[in-house]
Structure 1
Amino acid sequence: MDLNTITDIVRHPPDRPGAVWRNGDAWLAGGTWLFSTEQPDLRRLVDLTALGWDSLVPSDAGLEIGATCTIGELNAFPPPSDWRAASLFATSCAAFLSSFKIWNAATVGGNICMSLPAGPIITMTVALEATYTLWAADGVERTVDASDFVTGDHQNVLAPGEILRRVDIPVSALRKRHTHRRFTLTRLGRSTLFMIATQSPGTTDLLLTITAGTTHPVRMAFGAMPDADALRGCIDAIPEDVWFSDPNGTPDHRRHLARHFAEEIRVEFTEVCPP
Structure 2
Amino acid sequence: MDLNTVVEVRDGRRPGPWRPGDGWLGGGTYLFSEPQPHLRRLIDLSRMGWTPLQRLPDGSLEIAATCTITQLSRRARAMDDPAAPLFEQCCRSFLASFKIWNLATVGGNLCNALPAGPMISLSAALDGSCLLIAQDGSTRRVHVADFVTGAGRKILAEGELLRSVTLPARALASRTAFRQVSLYGLGRSGALVIGCVDPVDGSFALTVTAATVRPYRLWFPLPPRARELHAALARTVPDDAWFDDIHGLPAWRRHMAFRLAEEIRRELEEGTPS
TM-score range, shorter chain: over 0.9
Q: Which residue of 2 is the match for residue 266 of structure 1? A: 265
Q: Which residue of 2 is the match for residue 46 of structure 1? A: 43
- 1:110-161: per-residue Cα shift (whole Å, max 9, x none)? 0000000000000000000111100011111001111110000000000010
- 1:202-256: per-residue Cα shift (whole Å, max 9, x none)? 6542100000000000000001111111111112222111111111111111111
Q: Which residue of 2 is the match for residue 26 of structure 1? A: 23
Within 5 A, what are the aligned runs for 1:29-178? 29-59=26-56, 60-78=58-76, 82-178=80-176
1:82 shift after superposition: 4.1
* C-alpha distance in structure 2 between counterparts of 1:135 and 1:269, whole Å: 37
Counting aligned pairs with the same residue, the percent is 47
* C-alpha distance in structure 2 between counterparts of 1:72 and 1:80, whole Å: 13
The one-letter amino acid of 1:110's match is G
Among 198, 211, 214, the residue aligned to 1:213: 211
User: Which stretch of structure 1 is more off in the superposition, 73-82 or 173-182?
Assistant: 73-82
1:274–1:54 CA distance, 2 compared to 1 (3 A): same
Return structure 1 stretches of 4+ with deviation > 3 angstroms: 78-82
- 1:36-78: per-residue Cα shift (whole Å, max 9, x none)? 1001111011101121111011234211111000011001004
* C-alpha distance in structure 2 between counterparts of 1:79 and 1:135, whole Å: 30
- 1:82–1:175 CA contact under 8 A, matched in 2: no
The one-letter amino acid of 1:42's match is L
Q: Which residue of 2 is the match for residue 243 of structure 1? A: 242
* C-alpha distance in structure 2 between counterparts of 1:137 and 1:192, whole Å: 36
Gaps of 5+ in 1: none
* C-alpha distance in structure 2 between counterparts of 1:81 and 1:94, whole Å: 17
* C-alpha distance in structure 1 between counterparts of 2:85 and 2:17, whole Å: 38
Q: Which residue of 2 is the match for residue 10 of structure 1? A: 10
The one-letter amino acid of 1:65's match is I
Q: Which residue of 1 is the match for residue 221 of structure 2? A: 223
TM-score (norm 2): 0.96
- 2:69–2:103 CA contact under 8 A, matched in 1: yes
* C-alpha distance in structure 1 between counterparts of 2:92 and 2:80, whole Å: 22
- 1:202–1:274 CA contact under 8 A, matched in 2: no
The one-letter amino acid of 2:7's match is T
SS of 2:83's partner is: helix
TM-score (norm 1): 0.95
The one-letter amino acid of 2:175's match is R
What RMSD, in angstroms, separates the aligned Cα atoms of the two structures?
1.4
Gaps of 5+ in 2: none
- 1:10–1:46 CA contact under 8 A, matched in 2: yes
Q: Number of aligned pairs?
A: 272
The one-letter amino acid of 1:74's match is L
1:30–1:182 CA distance, 2 compared to 1 (3 A): same
